Amino acid sequence: MELDPDLGLQLSIEGIPYARVHPQPDVRAFWEGAEKGELRLRKCKACGAFLHPGKIACTKCLSQELEWVKSSGKGTIYSLCKVNYVFTPEVEGKLPYFLALIKLEEGVYFFGIILKQDAREPSIEMSVKTVFDSDNFFERPYPKFVLV
Ligand SMILES: [Zn+2]
């Protein structure tokens, strides 16, 4: 893996790039929040709608006057997938793991890994909260979720 301070982290398999994690200037506040253990969202100053960190305009009123806010980090599992196959070298030895679409309390949908902390199997509508652990193949803190 190769980390460029401006372009981010490039993931590759045998030298062939397949993905890049972008801490680009327009989402730098998201990554700074992650460094502090905060899940940050955008909020529209015009209508108050909460938005995914990657949005550059409000999806309700199209305003571009957005601000960064701290999410409660709480939500429920909206959709779920149990991964049993090594798609990338970074997950070697970590199978199975759960990939989920989380509906945050603020109404924003956020994609993430669910860390298994006990014998419970994650399922739809279970409550989760955000955590930031040290096992990040992005080589920087990234929000994950645990069952509550
Ligand atoms: Zn708006």
Q: What is the pLDDT of residues 20-33, one digit of tens each?
A: 666 667 788 998 89
The pLDDT score that the predictor gives to residue 116 is 83
Please report, in tens digits, the pLDDT of each residue of the chain (148 residues total).
Answer: 556 666 666 777 777 776 666 666 778 899 889 989 999 999 999 999 999 998 999 999 999 999 999 999 999 999 999 999 887 777 778 788 899 999 999 999 999 999 888 889 999 999 999 998 877 666 678 899 999 9
Query: Considering the entire predicted model, what is its pTM?
Result: 0.82
pLDDT, residue 82, reads 93
Quote the ligand 1 centre to 84 CA distance (angstroms). 40
The alpha carbon of 77 and the centre of ligand 1 are apart by a number of angstroms equal to 25
| Through-space distance between the first and last CA atoms of the chain, rounded to whole angstroms | 33
CA 58 to ligand 1 center in whole angstroms: 5
Beta bridge partners of 109: 103
CB atoms within 10 A of CB 50: 18
- Tell me: the pLDDT tens digits for 88-107? 777 778 788 899 999 999 99
Answer whether 9's CB lies under 8 Å from 1's CB: yes
Ligand 1 centroid, distance to 3 Cα (angstroms)? 35
Closest by alpha carbon to 21, among 43, 54, 58, 48?
54
Quote the ligand 1 centre to 60 CA distance (angstroms).
5
How far apart are the CA of 78 and the centre of ligand 1, in A?
A: 24
**How confident is the model at residue 85, as a pLDDT?**
86
- Residue 61 Cα to ligand 1 midpoint, Å, equals 4
Distance (Å) from CA 49 to ligand 1 centroid:
5
